[in-house]
Chain A
Amino acid sequence: MDFKERILTTLNHEEPDRVPVAGFILSQVTSNRILGKQTADFADMLETADLRRGLMDIMNSSWLDMINSALADWFEAAITLGYDANWTIYSQMEVVEEPKFKQGLAMHDIWVRAFELRVDKDGNTAANYVHGLCTTENDWYSWVERNRPLYDELINNVREHHRLMAEKFGDRILAIGSPGSGVFDNTWQPMGFENFCRFVYQKPEFMRKVIEFHTDLLLRHLNAIMDSGVELVVGGDDLGQKTGPLMSPEQMEKLFGESYRRVSEAVHSRKKKLLWHTDGNVYALLDKFVEWGFDGVVSLEPTAGMALGEVREQVGHKLVLVGNLDIAYLLVRGTKEEMEDAVRKAIKDAAKGGGFILSPCNSHSAIDPMRLEWMVEAAHKYGMYPIAI
């Protein structure tokens, strides 16, 4: 079986030749370490105003190329590691000066979030969401108006990015197309979680409009991804924290149920599969995922108590399970033996009958490439079907 048959077989809850391994989004430092590339050190550049401005201009004028080249590295690295699949992701952002941030630069995305652009001494470039840019209902409407021309640009770039990735890598690895964050994150992050909670209770009609807006945009985004021919897409919202969902299943249903159903239907109408990524402890939402029509769930964060055996017991083969390898300890400083144990256990608990893809549960720059290699090795060692553990 090749990577594609392997993944598609497991997505149908049938047993492929062996358990597939998928990569979570990789950081540039990780991919460079895997590929033996030098990571460019921008940190010093950011110290001087002129150079900083220069960097900002370069990033803004070559945004699509930059993303394409970073993603190409992630994919080469994923292929080097022996992954069967990896995420593609394209986000539309503008780099702006922001004196409040340590290195003076922020990125504003078209969903109206501010990200801090940070380059550390190891050359790791990270753009992390810090806050939203609209705290009132009026703010939100004016931002949407202001950004309107950018939505078409987003859709065109998404189509172009995924087409290029398919052209370059389609015969070597399966792309899992991701639009980045989903409707829940896109709703709360532009206004901050505290304001979002207030609006949910105080301005339900406004919330309904925001959710509908993001659902429409997400559907355009997903369709543009699927135009490139990807078989599998992954939506993503952080719906859980360490001890449980951020919102009760009832409230999630009331606010987002219709939106999630629309997303699933749109993907299924094109005969593709839809995975959903969420961090945290989400046992209480698993049945909802099935109801909303998701085909699988990605992450299953062990440090938040997600155990594959329990998840399988709760949902049976109604969901494909993806992830579960710990990134807090195991993939940073775990021993080879611990890695073998964890992979063996994951396979034992979830792989029977197909419907399981092994993967790190998330990604950050401290993840060690050698341990990713151990993960793949162990998956090949213990993951041959029929599973004999």
Chain B
Amino acid sequence: MDSTIDAANSVAATDDPQAAKDAIDAFTDALQTVGKWFQDGEWFLAELVYAGEISKETMKILTPLIEGGTLESIGTIVVGTVAGDLHDLGKNIFISYAKSAGFNVIDLGIDVSTDRFIEAVRVHKPQTLGMSCLLTSTDMEIGKVIEELKRQQLRDQVKVIIGGAALTQQFADGVGADAFAPDAVTGTDIVRKWSSS
């Protein structure tokens, strides 16, 4: 981490938004590679998480240079773990990858009720709502949120992506989510595609 931070600091010292943007792009590419290694089973979760941590620190240094400058966030994502579920490692990894890809991410935390998800969609008007769920006993919470989005006529304003150990593509289809992500890297790829289309 130290050498990456040193490198980020020397870029920051130039006070040049373009240099910062190039550094962020290079960093995002590197993170993509880490993600692919993880998907291929070459790297393990601890390495993926540590890469995420390095990314957090680096972005803290580089993003102030470009804020208000040329690099705009490529979209807003609201993310949370559903009500009754307290697992958050997976959600947090998705968040650090999505942030590194340039998204503005609103993290609602764990054990998020339907009302809080809906409220956040109203307030932040995200393009994407992400829900994480690892427990079979709480998977129906996802359906509840999607139904509530429909009831409040918000469903067509937001794409819904879901992930977590309890879920499958089949479940996503059944409940009417737009996508299921088996891992954070695929999830980031999907939301990136949505934002560019």
Contact = CB atoms under 8 A, between A and B. Distances in A.
Contact of A364 (B110, B111, B137): B137
A228 interface: no
Contact of A304 (B45, B50, B165, B183): B165
B47 interface: yes
Interface stretch (A30-38, A158-166, A170-178, A193-201): A193-201
A243 B41 contact: yes
Nearest to B57: A198
Contact of B86 (A128, A251, A304, A327): A128
Contacts of B188: none
A241 interface: yes
Given A116-B86, A194-B53, A244 B41 contact: yes
A251 B46 contact: yes
A102 interface: yes
B50 A197 contact: yes
A332 interface: yes
Interface of A: 102, 116, 128-130, 193-194, 197-198, 200-202, 241-248, 251, 303-304, 327-329, 332, 364-366
Given A244-B44, A364-B137, 11 more contacts: A116-B86, A194-B52, A198-B50, A201-B1, A244-B45, A245-B44, A247-B45, A304-B165, A329-B136, A332-B136, A332-B137
B89 interface: yes
Contacts of B183: 243
B135 interface: yes
A172 to B, nearest CB: 30
B53 A248 contact: no
A116 B84 CA distance: 11
B16 to A, nearest CB: 29
B92 interface: yes
A200 B44 CA distance: 14
23 contacts: A116-B86, A128-B86, A130-B110, A193-B89, A194-B53, A194-B92, A198-B50, A200-B50, A202-B1, A241-B45, A242-B165, A244-B45, A246-B45, A247-B44, A247-B46, A251-B44, A304-B165, A327-B136, A329-B136, A332-B137, A364-B137, A366-B136, A366-B137
A285 to B, nearest CB: 11
A245 B47 CA distance: 11
Interface in B115-174: 135-137, 165-166
Nearest to B2: A202
B175 interface: no
Nearest to B49: A197
